[in-house]
Structure 1
Amino acid sequence: MLESNRSRPASHQSYEILRDRILNGELPGGTKIVEEKIAAELGVSRTPIRESIRKLEHEGLIENKKVVKPAEKDLRNMFQVRILLEGYSAQCAAAYLKENDLQSLHQCVEIGKTGTVEEIMEANERFHEIIVGASNNPVMIDIIDRMSSIIYLFRKTVVFYNRPHLIDEHEQIYQAIKARNGEKAEMLMKTHLQADLEFCLHLLS
């Protein structure tokens, strides 16, 4: 049941609940989304549920009223976009990132070494967000933002299954950015994301 809150419309609350259920695995890939059932469960009309589904379709989490179960081709296509955009962003970060953001990057790396799984997940997300933000390109940032829910699913995979060298690679990327070596930062980011892709593909096989 949704909470009664005038400042947060039913469609937004419904969207958050559905998204969280998909991201935490409660609604696994392939699950059929039935508007009537969810509307009854949350105590709302079908209209906010329909709006929520539309937004989740836009984010790539739902397709044809089912929770997505990405195939190898989908994975490769998405990571190809990430490799291009985040590689470029890492180069920008080396040129333009301010000192306070450099400190935040370093903090993300340190949390990755000692934090809980949840803390590492958050630090991983923040690490990539800071670097993408350094592009200062709203179109690129929007593209990555729209992919963020799908990216979260894969990020959860590499963290929960403890991909080897994940934090070491973050450390190397950070060091290259700190040294203002854009070419090296771009190369390391591309290699890092390619390793994420291969790891996810291995788990799918």
Structure 2
Amino acid sequence: MNKQPFQLAYLTAYEYIRDKILSGELPRGTKLVEERLAEEIGISRTPVRESIRKLEQEGLIKQKRVVNPSSVDLQNIFQVRILLEGFSARCAATYMSEETLGRLHDCITIARSGTIEETMKANKEFHDIIVQSSNNPQMIDIIDRMSSIIYLFRKTVVYHKRPFLIDEHQEIYDAISAHDGDRAERLMQEHLQADLDFCLHLLKA
């Protein structure tokens, strides 16, 4: 088998299915049928099967269905985020350069005045910049592998307009800018706990 065409087909299938899940076109709980997806994309079933496997590893698919996270699933995912991103914020307060601080502040400015899509992008970049500033490849890799499921929850809090979201980003930025690692870590942990509480409230509604 020629690896390059397969890799291209696999990547096409992966992005096609992932984007349909993240956009809501494939609602939570939807059963994925390999034959139908292969026909829609215009490729064979094998790359579709492999892309589904990768999306299962990322947490977007479970037992061939679009994930419909339970409260326990939410809590488990956020426990990892609270630990890793809290520590990343502490590291950022020590290591983040002035140039990167400027990019972090730009994310807040865009999120305050932008469209929902622009706010989503700025929100993602804000957290990504802080995680990258941990300078810990293992931590960065763990968060990266969770990125799709994290995006799903970020979308929930942005689209449902969780109160004080951007104000909390400003407070985290201020702590990092002041090189206050203890405060940066605590504020990030509180920020993510508020996200979790908000998502759990929506789940019960």
Band of TM-score, shorter chain: over 0.9
Counterpart contact for 2:20–2:26, Cα < 8 Å: yes
Helix, strand or coil at the partner of 2:183: helix
Q: Does 1:20 align with 2:39?
A: no
Deviations 1:132-176 (A, max 9, x none): 001111110011001110000110011011000000000000000
- Counterparts of residues 168-187 of structure 1 (less than 5 Å): 168-187=167-186
2:6–2:47 contact (8 Å) kept in structure 1 = no
| Counterpart for residue 113 of structure 1 | 112
Name the TM-score, length of structure 1 as normaliser. 0.96
TM-score by length of 2: 0.96
1:203 matched residue in structure 2: 202
Amino acid at match of 1:81: V
Count residues in correspondence.
201
Query: Alpha carbon RMSD of aligned pairs, Å?
Result: 1.3
Q: What is the match of residue 81 of structure 1? A: 80
Cα distance in 2 for partners of 1:23, 1:46 equals 22
Alpha-carbon distance between aligned partners in 1 of 2:182 and 2:146, rounded to the nearest angstrom: 25
Identity %: 64
The alignment status of 1:36 with 2:35, answered yes or no, reads yes
Q: 1:130 matched to which residue of 2?
A: 129
SS where residue 31 of structure 1 aligns? coil
Q: 1:145 corresponds to which residue?
A: 144
Q: Distance in 2 between matches of 1:126 and 1:40?
A: 35
Aligned partner of residue 169 in structure 1, secondary structure:
helix
Amino acid at match of 1:137: N
Q: Does 1:167 align with 2:166?
A: yes
